[in-house]
Amino acid sequence: EVQLSESGGGLVQPGGSLRLSCEASGFMFANYAMSWVRQAPGKGLEWVSVGFGSGTSSSALYADSVKGRFTVSRDNSKNTLYLQMDRLRAEDTAIYYCAKNHCSGGTCYIFDNWGQGTLVTVSS
Amino acid sequence: SYVLTQPPSVSLAPGQTTSLTCGGNNIGSKYVHWYQQKPGQAPVLVVYTNSDRPSGVPERFSGSNSGNTATLTISRVEAGDEADYYCQVWDTDSGHVVFGGGTKLTVL
């Protein structure tokens, strides 16, 4: 059974930093792209980032709203996905979900399993 | 950037059939995926690549996609189907995942 468990959320001041973690189990983590999706209170879903294979930098894509401030990385030896969030803004307040990417029909941007999410609140 | 448009809300009685729409420019050329999110819970994939169902999702859920509209059809709606439903695509032009704004389904 696929399980995803996020942690690291909390209250942070504007301009601050936070690192989220997503621990995965039940599948070959290294073989799958993994994504972060967020949901502001009372709002819809917003894709944040996807991390491919291993490492950081070129192995990732980002939404325009977080590009240059957020960095996704992964440690395949620990089956863990990370999201380093810097220069946080009030509008980054949201529940952050990690999700496993599924490939079908030539696309790999299908989210077939989700964690329960971790709440990030950016406020002074 | 690519925009997906969903009606904010839909209401119907148990046993009825509903078609939730997701509009986008030439969306028929893209693969559309649908998620169900119940209050306080994480989203769940219910239809992917337009019309495929993950294992465990009832056959009452079906999808289609053509032209400028994708549709999630829920037959014989039950109280347990009450949730927010989101459509999603991959936009190759921007290299971004795009979600629709979501439709709140209320079962009267």
Please state, for a pLDDT cut of 90, what percent of chain B lies above it: 98
Please indicate whether, in this complex, the C-beta atoms of B48 and A110 are within 8 angstroms of each other.
Answer: yes
Is B43 touching A (CB cutoff 8 A)? yes
Instruction: Specify the length of chain A in residues.
Output: 124
Best probe of the B interface among A109, A112, A113, by most B CBs < 10 A, is A109
Residue that has been written with the tokens 């347990």 in this structure: B80
User: Over 80: is that where the pLDDT of B25 sits?
Assistant: yes
Q: What is residue A107's predicted lDDT score, i.e. its pLDDT? A: 82
CA angle (B67 as vertex; B62, B68 as ends), nearest 5:
90
pLDDT at A55: 54
Q: Per this entry, what is the length of chain B? A: 108
- The least confident of A3-7, A101-105, B35-39, B73-77 is A101-105
Q: Which residue of B has its CA nearest to A100?
A: B45
CB contact under 8 A, A46 and B102: no
Dihedral pair phi/psi, residue A92, rounded to 5°: -85, -5
For residue A67, which phi and psi values (nearest 5 degrees)?
A: -60, 130
User: Which residue would you say has higher pLDDT here, A56 or B26?
Assistant: B26
How high is the pLDDT of residue A28?
Answer: 93
- Mean pLDDT computed over every residue of chain B: 97
- Give the residues of chain A that fall short of pLDDT 50: 57-58
CB contact under 8 A, A104 and B35: no
B96 and A97 within 8 Å at the Cβ level: the answer is no
- Which of A45, A112, A113 best tests the B interface by mutation, with the highest count of B CBs <10 A? A45
Over its C-alpha atoms, chain A yields an Rg (Å, rounded) of 14
pLDDT of A54 reads 61
Output the CA–CA distances (angstroms, integers) from residue A101 to A12, B10, B82, in the order listed: 29, 29, 26
pLDDT of residue A58: 46
